[in-house]
Every structure is written in structure tokens, then in C-alpha cells.
Amino acid sequence: MSKAIRFHLTVGIMVMVGCASAFAQSAGEATYKTKCQNCHGPDGQANSGIGKAMKVKPVADPEVKKLSEETMIEAVRNGEGKMQSYKSSLTDVQIKDSVDYFRKFMK
């Protein structure tokens, strides 16, 4: 292979990797979107049809704001109220990462 072909191939690969990483989402965001967003909404406001029907409290609710990270992790792990338990379908790391992502909506 000539140097020019190798150079252009290398540059092309670097551009593809750069573009892919720019659109990548965090692990917590990915977990939240697959497991939590249906009820809690894309921004934690619980304004989805399911969230409204289940009377899920939005992230802005004072009761939600006062919850500690550990309390939220336990709620996801063991379930709370109408929310199902995720301890058998998510790892502890996935649960923590999704809670961390959700807590970003509080800011």
C-alpha cells in the first residue's frame, strides 16, 4: 500500500471514530433512556402518558429533590410504590449511573 493510501485511510478512520464519540451517550444516559424514560420522561419531568397515569413525581418536586442518591439507588434496586424493582435486570453500576444521570435534571 502506498503512503498516500495509508495516510488517507488513517485519517478516514480517525474522522469516523471522532464522529462516533461525539454522538455517544453515557452509560447512565443509555440505561435511563431504555429503562426509566417511559415513566420519568426525557427530562425527568414525568410528563409522559405513563408518568401522568401513574402519578410519577417530577424531578422538580420538593419531595424528589430532598431524596439522597443512596435513597434513589435503593428505590431503583428494590422498587418503590408502583415502580418495579430493577435488581434482577440491571447491575449495581447501571443503577448508580442511571440515578446519576437522573440527578443531573435537578440542577
Tens-digit pLDDT profile for residues 10-43: 655 665 655 544 455 799 999 999 999 999 999 9
Q: Are residues 28 and 100 in contact, defined by beta-carbon separation less than 8 angstroms? A: yes
pLDDT confidence of residue 8 = 55
The pTM of the full predicted model, rounded to 2 decimals, is 0.75
Q: Which residue range is the domain that position 74 belongs to?
A: 26-106
Q: Is residue 16 part of a domain?
A: no
Instruction: Average the pLDDT over each of 5-14, 45-54, 72-81 and give the range with the smallest value.
Output: 5-14
All three cell numbers of 92, joined, read: 449495581
CATH number for the domain that contains residue 49: 1.10.760.10
- The total of other beta-carbon atoms located within 10 Å of residue 79's CB is 13
Name, in order, each residue with C-beta under 8 angstroms of 42's C-beta and a sequence gap of 6 or more: 33
Q: Is residue 80 part of a domain?
A: yes
* Digit-coded pLDDT (tens) for 65-106: 999 999 999 999 999 999 999 999 999 999 999 999 999 999
Distance of CA 97 to the CA centre of its chain: 7
pLDDT confidence of residue 10 = 60
Q: Is residue 15 part of a domain?
A: no
Q: What's the domain count of the chain?
A: 1
